Structure 1
Amino acid sequence: MTSLDGIPGPLADELDTPSALTLSRVRLGAGGPLGSVRIAEGKVVAVVVEGELEGPVLDLDGRTVLPGLWDAHVHAAQWAGNRHRVDLAGLGSARKVAEAVRLHSVGLPAGEVLMGQGFRDGLWPDAPHKALLDQVCPDRPVALISADLHAAWLNSACLQLVGRGDHETGLLREHQAFEALQALPAVPAEVLDRWVAEACRDAAARGVTGIIDFHFSDNIADWSRRAANSPLDIRVQAAVYPRHLDAAIERGLRTGDVLPATDGLLQAGPLKLFTDGSLNTRTALCCDPYPGLEGTPEAYGIEETPYEELVRLMRRAVGHGIEPAVHAIGDRANTLALDAFAAVGRPGRIEHAQLLTAADIGRFAALGVTAGVQPAHATDDRDVADRHWAGRTGRAFAYADLLAAGARLEFGSDAPVSPLDPWLGIAAAVHRTGDERPAWHPEQRVPVRAALAASARGRSEIRVGDAADLVVVEVDPLEADARTLREMPVHATMLGGRWTHGPY
């Protein structure tokens, strides 16, 4: 921590909420020279190399300052809520999950729904079934959400609660899962908003200054309420779903428009659309069948939105200044999404872009489509990909190929699928491993500088005139090994000239 010994009280107060401040003896970007940065009125107003600027001054003792980081794909309310649920990550079978449910059910208030999140059944030796949960928790509703958010496992009591008491297995996928979870008793808005605020403060402690929130709700209304109640600690682009598209159009909102009374921190986001499901649930739409599902109706995954409807919704959105953001995971889904962008003739985003055909790699740049990708998924899903996309993983999570073809990458976490921590994604993109195993498809590694830029919405330098959204780190990322990069010690985070984390 930077010592404030000897700093007069009034100056220390000014450093807490600075209207003007100089960050001195700071490395200007990854691998950058020593210099100073002057902040005033929420913007960077001067940058000098090997020189000093006028005070008040905060000496950062050679630490590195970077553009503030963004998580370009978050489900904020679900991430915040899941931090208060049973963590099922890493449990290797349905029976182990059921045992975890049994242990966590002890002592809960009668009638309270036991919520869990994070199971991955794609490699399990046994299948999730309501009977397993009924054995350990027969009277209390239990709802477990898969790590990829595309499946829910419910016991009989919970199935009755959501009006699906006749469901054969209790394992619901895609729309059935979404509808069942929405039918559960809602967390009170004031409680959820408090959880979201806590999650945002924790994100700021990891250098995050902004997110694109794809939570499945009326995000603009939810974030407007939060901003009205207390200052936001991050910038938010609030995505719109089709059921809220007409309302956004009637208000004249365009992607990037700042919402009133939010201190400029809340913007209207893109329109979220779906082409397919996910890898773990074997619903991602692919050109080849999933092993063991050959000959079944969903052998190739599922098409969530018919192509004609996808194009119609995209045309309506872009006609009113709203950028489409299309979920596409399987290679067939990505081809359909790119075809739709070609038909509409306007740029936008594809979220995930996990499996691509060789022919589609270059189309991202040609069509001006941003690839909103989650590098931590490459390390988290390497085993399930090797099983269900066997022989095709050379073109899975193909970030180096996309960069070489000129595509714009923006990194996110898809929290709660992966933790809302941009350094995990940066390290995964650079090293292609999240543990002690060798790199998985190391040919798809990206350089540290490119990973940092993809985590800062393209910003790679501290520039005069930019908003003073900055992160100060203890270690130059270019000098960090894999573990240090994953665990990067963040000294301070600034949002529009205001400290949201640190610096002392």
Structure 2
Amino acid sequence: MPDLLLRNVRIVPLSPRAAVPTGVVDVLVTDGLVSAVGESLSRPAGVEAYDAGGRWLVPGLWDAHTHLGQWTLRASRLDLHGTRSPAEALARVAAAASTLDGEPGEAIVGMGHSAGTWDRWGTVSELDSVTGSTPAILVNHDFHHAWLNTAALDALDLPRREDMVQETEWYQAYPRVAELFESNGSTPAAYRRMLTRTAALGVVGMTDFEVGLRLDDWRSRWAAGCDLVRIRVATYADQLDEAIASGLHTGDPLIAGEDRLTMGPLKIISDGSLGTRTAWCCDPYADDPDSCGAPNQSPDELKGLLGKAHAAGLEVATHAIGDRAVSEALAAYAATGARGSIEHAQLVRREDLPLMARLGITASVQPAHILDDREMTEDVWPGREERCFATRWMLEEGVRLALGSDAPVAPLDPWLAIAAAVGRSRDGKEPWHPEQALTAQEALAASVDGQPTVAPGSRGDLAVLEVDPLRASVEELAAIAHGGVTATVVGGRIVHRR
């Protein structure tokens, strides 16, 4: 690993009790760790020096929940964000179809619409009417279902129908979408461009929950130059036996001697989403009184998966959005001794949080969803809003909190997540349940993969900022993403500088 001397930085404390120097100091990174902090440190021979000019230094940021294949492909997909009805989405698809040449292999892949906010879902026949024989796949913004036309259903070997492809059926079909229609958008060069943009945000690491991902996919990308930031590669239940056979435990390098590319957790999707009304809840949905959503596994099946992964040395990341799903997931962790996280934890009961804390289970939350889901939540979970994205309760009960994006459901932007966790609002609206808001210091501490305030012994993964994030307004926090990171360091290597 390269060594590095950062000169003239101001260290940002990550807790009220952290003792930090009052003025500017130098920070030396040796063998991937901070080895010294002090004024006017000597520069070892051959070590690169970077003068931060009095700017602010924080541990490098992490995104604890991403889908990097989909995020990389987003630029080449038809943008359906903001469509308010099937008719509006069909108009955009028709415009895109009119630009195609009708060549074999052409397809329309769109993403970003939120069908859960429409007054009805679209039909396959409607999509056929504007696309003809060109395959069309419209991925809902939460990734829990997709609207396909007949040509796409046939190409993916799915039964014909008039409604959406949802949940497990969709997850199993999705990997073939990129394979058949989008191979040019997921090359190592495309990933490298995405990672370069991500490093410019101060991001030093991510957990990749891409569906259909194989461990060798990241090994080959890494060899092709996609080695800018740390990547933890998750696996899914259908690949669990393969992961176990590899002998890898969570945290083990995927390439010998390379600690930046490591085995991640087993990912389990235990329920659905708010938008599809499939998140598993204790109480019925207001617009569907006969439904509380549904689990994707029985309690015994869930315990079986957790127990199998735990015995093999794998942590488990359990997607649980509804409060019933969170409760059942915690019961499975308690019964098996498995370690890991609850991913999303969007709706919780406060009485479940002490157990989450005692078990050491991380709440992996994506605060930018607050901005997108508040109106829908009020419509379909009335009376439960105060328990949504309950980050204040989580900290008060001693739960470890990790923030992320769920990209591409929300942008891969840790500063947007931090600003949303602090302000819980956008577009001038009143903050949504501000009693659950975090301070900037708490949100930052939940965004650095558990690293402490920069000090000797901490990882040499660092970000240099133009502004003091603890004194910034919500708007200024969000704006850091737009040029406010002057340098990003991973293991002593500068991967972004401005």
For normalisation by structure 2, the TM-score amounts to: 0.92
For 1:132, the aligned partner's letter is E
Please list, as runs of the form range in 1=range in 2, the aligned pairs for 1:10-409 lying within 5 A after superposition.
Answer: 19-30=2-13, 33=22, 34-48=24-38, 51-55=39-43, 57-110=49-102, 111=104, 112-164=106-158, 166-169=160-163, 171-184=164-177, 185=180, 187-188=182-183, 191-261=186-256, 263-295=258-290, 299-409=291-401
Find the counterpart in structure 2 of residue 13 from structure 1: none
- Judged with a 3 Å threshold, the aligned counterparts in structure 2 of structure 1 residues 189 and 217 are, in CA distance, closer, same or farther, namely farther
Superposition deviation, residue 243 in structure 1? 2.0
Equivalent residues of 1:80, 1:192 under 8 A apart: no
Query: CA–CA distance in 2 between the matches of 1:74 and 1:25?
Result: 33
Find the counterpart in structure 1 of residue 464 from structure 2: 472
Find the counterpart in structure 2 of residue 8 from structure 1: none
For 2:303, the aligned partner's letter is V
- Judged with a 3 Å threshold, the aligned counterparts in structure 2 of structure 1 residues 182 and 431 are, in CA distance, closer, same or farther, namely same
Query: Secondary structure, in 3 states, of the residue corresponding to 2:206?
Result: strand
Query: Secondary structure, in 3 states, of the residue corresponding to 1:226?
Result: helix
Superposition deviation, residue 487 in structure 1? 1.8
Query: CA–CA distance in 1 between the matches of 2:69 and 2:160?
Result: 30
- Where structure 1 has 5 or more consecutive residues not aligned to the other structure, the ranges are 1-17
Deviations along 1:221-250, whole A, 9 cap, x unmatched?
Answer: 211111122251110111111222222222
Superposition deviation, residue 186 in structure 1? 5.2
Equivalent residues of 2:316, 2:338 under 8 A apart: no
Query: CA–CA distance in 2 between the matches of 1:399 and 1:231?
Result: 33
Superposition deviation, residue 107 in structure 1? 2.3
- Where structure 2 has 5 or more consecutive residues not aligned to the other structure, the ranges are 15-19
Please list, as runs of the form range in 1=range in 2, the aligned pairs for 1:418-497 lying within 5 A after superposition.
Answer: 418-488=410-480, 489-497=484-492
Query: Secondary structure, in 3 states, of the residue corresponding to 1:282?
Result: coil
Give structure 1 regions of 4+ aligned residues with deviation exceeding 6 angstroms. Answer: none
Query: CA–CA distance in 1 between the matches of 2:186 and 2:355?
Result: 44
Equivalent residues of 2:69, 2:186 under 8 A apart: no
Query: CA–CA distance in 1 between the matches of 2:364 and 2:93?
Result: 34
Query: Secondary structure, in 3 states, of the residue corresponding to 1:37?
Result: strand
Aligned length: 480
Equivalent residues of 2:192, 2:226 under 8 A apart: no
User: Which deviates more from structure 2 when the two are superposed, residues 423-432 or residues 129-138?
Assistant: 129-138
- Judged with a 3 Å threshold, the aligned counterparts in structure 2 of structure 1 residues 114 and 262 are, in CA distance, closer, same or farther, namely farther
Equivalent residues of 1:113, 1:142 under 8 A apart: yes
Equivalent residues of 2:321, 2:347 under 8 A apart: yes
Query: Secondary structure, in 3 states, of the residue corresponding to 1:91?
Result: coil
Deviations along 1:438-463, whole A, 9 cap, x unmatched?
Answer: 10000000111111111001224112
Query: Secondary structure, in 3 states, of the residue corresponding to 1:343?
Result: helix
Equivalent residues of 1:23, 1:58 under 8 A apart: yes
Query: Secondary structure, in 3 states, of the residue corresponding to 1:287?
Result: coil
Equivalent residues of 1:119, 1:147 under 8 A apart: yes
Query: Secondary structure, in 3 states, of the residue corresponding to 1:364?
Result: helix
For 1:178, the aligned partner's letter is Y
Query: Secondary structure, in 3 states, of the residue corresponding to 2:187?
Result: helix
Query: Secondary structure, in 3 states, of the residue corresponding to 2:116?
Result: coil
Query: Secondary structure, in 3 states, of the residue corresponding to 1:60?
Result: strand
Query: Secondary structure, in 3 states, of the residue corresponding to 1:108?
Result: coil
Query: Secondary structure, in 3 states, of the residue corresponding to 1:61?
Result: strand
User: Which deviates more from structure 2 when the two are superposed, residues 343-352 or residues 60-69?
Assistant: 343-352
Query: Secondary structure, in 3 states, of the residue corresponding to 1:478?
Result: coil
User: Which deviates more from structure 2 when the two are superposed, residues 236-245 or residues 29-38?
Assistant: 29-38
Equivalent residues of 2:281, 2:293 under 8 A apart: yes
- Judged with a 3 Å threshold, the aligned counterparts in structure 2 of structure 1 residues 145 and 465 are, in CA distance, closer, same or farther, namely same
Query: Secondary structure, in 3 states, of the residue corresponding to 1:446?
Result: coil
Find the counterpart in structure 2 of residue 15 from structure 1: none
Deviations along 1:331-379, whole A, 9 cap, x unmatched?
Answer: 1100100110111123321111110112112221011111111111122
Superposition deviation, residue 60 in structure 1? 1.3
For normalisation by structure 1, the TM-score amounts to: 0.91
Query: CA–CA distance in 2 between the matches of 1:119 and 1:387?
Result: 18
